[in-house]
Structure formats: structure tokens, C-alpha cells
Structure 1
């Protein structure tokens, strides 16, 4: 079947369709990772987006039931240069195309992904219609004009009920804005007793379990749309040590009086250099975000910048000058990508122990 991308600026890319037969509208973004397409697709932070992979060969090692980062795909579409139909890997259980068919995701391949990436870099993330149905240009234009992109995906993609993962270590409350499985895996590896709370959970409900620490998870959308979560976090950070990751980092910034802004095309990939100021060391990190924290607003809000991006000098980490509160914009859990910065989970646990001694 034929495939097509119709961008809001009128640009059209024609190729071949794969995955589920259908039509979707989303924000067109690109990811520079060479491997990890399964983890990328199942990362809830991609909700509402159409993902273009810059690496040309995708699907070559298939997919399996182990490496999903959530139970479904929240992205609106998938774009590749080529798609492998006959994967070869000892863990492979089915092809990537079969996974997309089963999860209802539209795909388009055999398009110039380099050209798409350059267009996004020049003009910024663009609204896009992806289709592998036989639609006219007039129909595609009508669809893209009628569809409005959502900004509050973080309210929908997380758990809908409280989940408890028992452990013998520190009691951690997780605010779920679209958490990846490997974040929970890292807490479990450190024997944490974990309770995952839905987006709508109140401050009082969270504090009822007497958590020793709170983790603010990653998630999709505009952090400024998470108004209820920001108000809850304002109260939490005054009472409990807190660690924010990605969306959690942005919500924390808003909670202390800082500001966030939409980036031109964001950071998405497994090869982003970040400088840890205190350690005087650079790390290669996994990233997936389209918003960032405004530097001056943070420096005036009781926070200290701890990490910066080596490509564009954006804020990648911060900590409170007085409270046991810190966050990072990147993904220390990787999945996909390097795990060089998993030391941050150890830092969080050490902070809980230190806070307990002071009480």
C-alpha cells in the first residue's frame, strides 16, 4: 500500500505504507538513536507524536515481549527509510510491522528521512498527517486543518489505579505522568518499596503512605498543562525528598516558580552529551523531550543548575539550594541508550538516608 506524509507547511513525502492501514495526525519529530526502536515506540512520552527515525535500517532485529517500556504504543505514527520484514535475532518474537499492526499504529517507509529531519531542524516540529490510505490532497489538507494537537497527554497515559510493587528498602511514591518501565526497574534493583500513583492523586493521598521519597516521572505533553500536578508538587517538596526525571524535572521547575518553553525541535535520541558540573564530567545520555526549563527563571527560584547540554547549553539538571530536591531533563535509566548516569538513582537513595538521619 502507498504511504504519505502531509505537513502543515504543505510539504508532501510519498512512500510505502506499513503497519495498520489508517490515517493519523500528530506532531512530527525525529529520533537519532541507532537501536532501540521498540523502547522508543513504547515510551509514553511520545504520545501524540509521529516519530521519524534518522537511522535508515529499522526492524532488523525484530521485537519481543521483554523490552516494551509500557503496555502499548501512544505515538500516532512511525516513519522510516526502510523496514526489515525478516528480522534476525535470538530474542525476536515477531516483526516490527506485525507489532505496529497489532497495536494499531500507522507506518510510512521509503521516504527521505534525511530531508524530513532537516526540515524539522530548520522549521521546528510540525503538525503532520500520516496515512497509508488512498486519500486525496484535499482530504489530507482538510484533516490537518481540523485536527488540534493535544497538550495534556500526561493526564491520560499513566496508571489509572494505585499500584504497589513491594520491596525491603526505602518507601518511594511515584507520580506517574507516563512512566517508563526501566525507571521502576532501577528502583526495584535498589530494593525500593514502590507505590505508583495516577495523575489525579491528591497530595493527601500520596502522603497517606508516609513516603520516604517521591519520584516525579517522565511523560508527554506541555508541562504547563499539568496544573494540578504542579500544585501537588509545591506541597510535596516541602515535606519529602524529591527526584524528577524529564517531565518531572519540568513540573518541578514550575512548582518552584520557574518557567518552561517549547524548544524548536527538542532532544530525542541516545547520544546527547551532558556536563555534570559538580563531578566535572561529561556523560552521554538518552533524551526525549520537546520542552525545556528557562535558565534565568530557575536561578531566581532557589534552584542551582547542576547539568547542562553540551550541544545547546540548555538546562539538563538542577537541585534546590536548601531542600533535598533535584531533577534531570535526560533519562538516567536509558532504555534505549546509555546507562552512564544511573548513579542518579543511587544519589536519590543516599539522599533519603541522609534525610532520615536529620529527622
Structure 2
């Protein structure tokens, strides 16, 4: 038996469980993801910066820890919540256990709570803050309620420019790192691109010197409307006539750079089973997503942009194509791993835009 731990939500509800991973107290925004696989990609996805991840699938850790599958070099989430974790992982690629991995990264985790009930609470009441603690009697609820995810992109973005991918590739892509997933890099490289990964605030003058064929705006964490300097920077890049492809946060930043609006969703979309409809063909794709904010479709100016994808479940915006610049973007992850890759063809479209340029 592990040491008793409690998850205390800002609405006063308490869940009793046990520590695994690191022990300690932590406050964060509590979110849930519905992925049945891909817990390693989830933990290493920097879009979860400042959040406490709840896995709805009851057993986590059964295939161990596989560094080749990581989306970044470290865990960005503040804490982890599962129903049960597997103490005897079995996979020929595994290099360790989830418990050890969390301890090594000093990430507090709790197991043994009713994650089904917790998920229902978040779905009905919306995303809320919570605290993992060993002593629920001394919780400061005002402190929990006051917690905010701040300076997210500035914290997770690369601090230096570096090159990767196919260094002798036909295409040269600047990848603005807002908290990128490594599978975006892998996907670009697999299609013959040399990739220069740049800090989020890399000015347009530096991109000119790189002489790139296209610009990729990556996924990332936090409220996109707070990234005012990044938004202004992207607005200047738009005017260069370079093909631009935005994913997730990159999608939201591109919309805000055009003067459109974003909003916080009640509990967000996180998992590998989100249906999105292509408004051009009527076809529905299953997509992987991880976001708490969305572009407000009603704010789009039809003279400048058109909506290309919508979420089948709630009708929220999932894609935009722009008329005033060579740019398009999607809210979901066409490079998803783990998750469906039904929409990977969007990368072909991006490469086609660079070919025309």
C-alpha cells in the first residue's frame, strides 16, 4: 500500500487515493483525456503545461516507458491522475516503469480514485482547479481557485534555434516552437524537409535570413489570447507571402493575428477519438486533440477567411483557410501519435503550397 493522498477540487469535492510517482502537494488545472493508448505521448506533450492530467482509461502503464515515443524530453504536466497503474509492464521496447519515470521527473501522481466520477464532474461543471495533498483538512480553497496557467509559451518554447529533420531535404521549413510535439518534426522530416526549430518570438527578419520555403506554427499550452507578442509576430510573418500551416495553438494564434476571437471551452477536447467534419467534402474524420480553447467561428470575416472543419460533437471550429495570405490551420493533430492519422494528408497540402511558391 502506498501513502494516502487526496485530490481536492475547488468546488470542495474530495477523492481519496494513494501516491505514486513523486509525493508532495501540487495545485493545477484538472483536465481529462480519453485516450486508451498514448499515455507516454500525453505525459510528454508540452500542451499540458500547468495542468493535472486525468486518464479516463482505467489501466495506465501496461507497456512501460519507451523514450522513442516521447513528444518532448520531459513531462510538462504538473500532476497525473489514474485509476490504476501497471506495476509489471510488458513490451519489448520498454525501458522502465511509469512510477519510476514520474519519480525521475518529480511529477506528483495519485492512483486509486474514481476517475469515472471525476470525469463526469468536469464534464458537467467545466474544467476546474484542484490540489493533490496528504492533508485535505488544511487546504486553502482560495489559493486553489486563484491558480492560473501563466507564461506558458514563454516557459516551454526552445531558447535557441536548432536544425533537425532531413538536412539535405528539398524543403526548408521554419517551425515556430510554441510547445511543439516531436511528431510534427518527424512528419515534416519524413516528407523531405530540413527543419529549423525557432523560438516562439523569432522575428520575421530572422526568418528572411533563413530563406525558408514554409512556416509551421506548432501546438502549445495556455490561453492563446494572452500571447500578444507572439500574435503580433505571426501577423508580421503573414505579410511575407510564405506558406503557413498552423496546428492547435498555432491555429488559434493565426486566427488571433487576423483579429478574430478565441474562447475557453467548457472542458476542452483531449483524446484520440474526436470527430471532425470536412465542410468541403462532408467527410468525417476521427482526430486526436488536446486543447482547452477554440476559435470562435462567428468571429471569422468571410472576406478574409473561411471555415473548413467543424467538431461533430459540439460544432466548434476545427479549421480555417485564409484568403489574404498563403495560410491554413487546423485545431486537431494531423500528425497524431498515438492516435488516428486520418488527416495526415494535410501535410501533403502544405508541401504542395511550398511547391507552388
- TM-score bracket, normalised by the shorter chain, equals over 0.9
Q: Which residue does 2:201 correspond to in 1?
A: 200
Contact 1:299 1:305 (8 Å CA) reproduced: no
**In structure 2, distance between residues paired with 1:152 and 1:316:** 25
Distance in 2 of aligned mates of 1:301 and 1:101:
52
Question: Secondary structure, in 3 states, of the residue corresponding to 2:281?
Answer: coil
The unaligned stretches of length 5 or more in structure 1 are: none
Per-residue deviation, 1:257? 0.9
4+ long deviations beyond 4 Å: none
Whole-angstrom CA distance in 2 between matches of 1:139 and 1:280: 50
Deviation at 1:167, TM superposition (A): 3.5
> 1:89-117, CA deviations, whole angstroms, 9 ceiling, x for partnerless residues?
11111111111011111111111101100
Is 2:8–2:136's contact at 8 Å kept on the other side of the alignment? no
Q: Deviations over 1:175-205 (max 9, x none)?
A: 1000000000000001111111112322212
The 1-side partners of 2:142 and 2:321 are apart by 46
Which residues of structure 2 form unaligned runs of 5+?
Answer: none
Is 1:102 matched with 2:104?
yes
1:153 aligns with 2:152: yes
**Residues 111-169 of structure 1, C-alpha deviations (whole Å, 9 max, x = no match):** 110110010011110011123xx324224546525x53123301111211001122322
Distance 1:279 1:167, change over 3 A: farther
The separation in 2 between residues aligned to 1:154 and 1:53, in whole angstroms, is: 24
Cα distance in 2 between the residues matched to 1:155 and 1:343: 31
- Please tell me whether the aligned partners of residues 45 and 178 of structure 1 are also in contact (alpha carbons under 8 angstroms): yes
Q: What's 2:315 paired with?
A: 313
Q: What secondary structure sits across from 2:72 in the alignment? A: coil
- 1:82 corresponds, among 81, 84, 87, to 84
Q: Whole-Å Cα distance in 1 between the matches of residues 11 and 87 of structure 2? A: 32
Matched ranges for 1:211-222 at <5 A:
211-222=212-223
1:339 aligned counterpart, secondary structure: coil
Tell me what 1:210 maps to: 211
User: Residues of 1 paired with 2:261 and 2:208: CA distance?
Assistant: 26
TM-score under structure 1 length normalisation: 0.95
Residue 228 (structure 1) aligns with: 229
Partner Cα distance (1:294, 1:287) in 2: 17
Q: Is contact 1:170–1:212 with CA below 8 Å preserved after alignment?
A: yes
- For the residue of structure 1 that corresponds to 2:67, the secondary structure is coil
Tell me the secondary structure at the aligned position of residue 156 of structure 2.
coil
Q: Is the 8 A contact 1:152 1:222 kept in 2?
A: no
RMSD of equivalent CA atoms: 1.3
Q: How far apart are the structure 1 equivalents of 2:21 and 2:113? A: 15
What is the aligned counterpart of 2:47 among 45, 48, 54?
Answer: 45
Residue matched to 2:343: 341
Query: Could you tell me the TM-score, scaled by structure 2's length?
Result: 0.96
Number of aligned pairs? 352
Q: How far does residue 88 in structure 1 lie from its aligned partner after superposition?
A: 1.0
